[in-house]
Structure 1
Amino acid sequence: MSISETAPVSSGALWTGRVLSGLIILFMIFDGAIKLPPLDVVTQTMVPLGWPADANVARMLGVIGLVATALYALPRTSVLGAILLTAYMGGAIATNARIGNPLFSHTLFGVYLGIILWGGLYLRDPRVRALIPLSQ
């Protein structure tokens, strides 16, 4: 099935996809932006997760998250951004699993974000619907 053959999505589904994607974008902008300045609360929160209390490490993670989010927000590069954000969240899942954080509240939080991220993209992007045809 080509993109041109993909069944059009209703305007309600399209707007639901935009809202879901917007929530992810806003969350990731906050997540990335708070890591840019050398905030003690950010660096000290990283220590129990096994990361060094280093503002440069926090800044690097913030930049990576913001770049991936920008790619996700732009329609032309949204699939690449979704892939990069999925990898970023995979790192967060691995970090939380490694230190034994609670499964449903902490460890799987990245999975929840990933479901919202890809669900929003699926509803708003015909390329993704053509790639993953959930219904015929």
Structure 2
Amino acid sequence: MPIQPQTPSSGIGLYRVGWGISGLAIAFLLMDASMKLLALPVVLQAQAELGFGGEHVARELGAILLACTLLYAAPQTAVLGAIMLTGYLGGAVAVKMRVGDPLFTHVLFGVYVGVLVWGGIYLRDARLREMLPLRSDARERKQPAG
């Protein structure tokens, strides 16, 4: 049975907002990936300051980021893409911490993008909201028989 994207039962509003948030994350990540794939001078300079050198490293990181973002953009593989992007962004946070960049503007930027990634997919996928509810209602819990 093929997996079909599901609109939320509470209406199309959450679904559209979710895609809007995901769209912002996807646009940013595609721009970042393309800049790395092109090995632009600004990318090479920033990577050198972080301890990464060479065009080949920029292009490899760009290819990895592009693959993760494309997986995230496709509804059938969005959760896998979000998980892979979480790993990629976690690596970015670790590198920024290692070089001593400012916390809220540089180090946590990967966390901010991750919140957009997961927030967008959470709003657009009713199945994910069912698996990971933000709160549980005691009335909805079934009492064990016995």
Compute the TM-score of the two structures, normalised by the length of structure 2: 0.84
Return the alpha-carbon distance in structure 2 between the equivalents of residues 55 and 101 of structure 1: 23
Whether the 8 Å CA contact 1:89–1:114 is kept in 2: the answer is yes
Q: Rg bigger for which structure?
A: 2
Return the alpha-carbon distance in structure 2 between the equivalents of residues 72 and 40 of structure 1: 28
Structure 2 portions without partners, runs of 5+: 1-7, 137-146
What amino acid does structure 2 have at the position aligned with 1:130? E
What amino acid does structure 2 have at the position aligned with 1:103? L
Equivalences for 1:89-108 in 2 at 5 Å? 89-108=89-108
Return the alpha-carbon distance in structure 2 between the equivalents of residues 56 and 127 of structure 1: 39
Q: Which has the higher helix share?
A: 1
Aligned-pair Cα RMSD in Å: 1.2
Cα shift at 1:50: 1.4
CA distances 1:19-71 after superposition (whole Å, capped 9, x unpaired): 0000000000000001112322211111111111x001000000000000000
Instruction: Determine whether 1:50 maps to 2:61.
Output: no
Number of aligned residue pairs: 129
Question: 1:13 maps to what in 2?
Answer: 14
Return the alpha-carbon distance in structure 2 between the equivalents of residues 77 and 46 of structure 1: 30
Whether the 8 Å CA contact 1:9–1:123 is kept in 2: the answer is no
Question: 2:86 maps to what in 1?
Answer: 86
Question: 1:110 maps to what in 2?
Answer: 110
Whether the 8 Å CA contact 1:72–1:82 is kept in 2: the answer is yes
Question: 2:69 maps to what in 1?
Answer: 69
Compute the TM-score of the two structures, normalised by the length of structure 1: 0.90
Question: 1:28 maps to what in 2?
Answer: 29
Return the alpha-carbon distance in structure 2 between the equivalents of residues 44 and 20 of structure 1: 30
CA distances 1:87-133 after superposition (whole Å, capped 9, x unpaired): 01001100100011000000000111111110100000122112211
Summarize the Cα distance change of 1:111–1:98 in structure 2 as closer, same or farther, 3 Å threshold: same
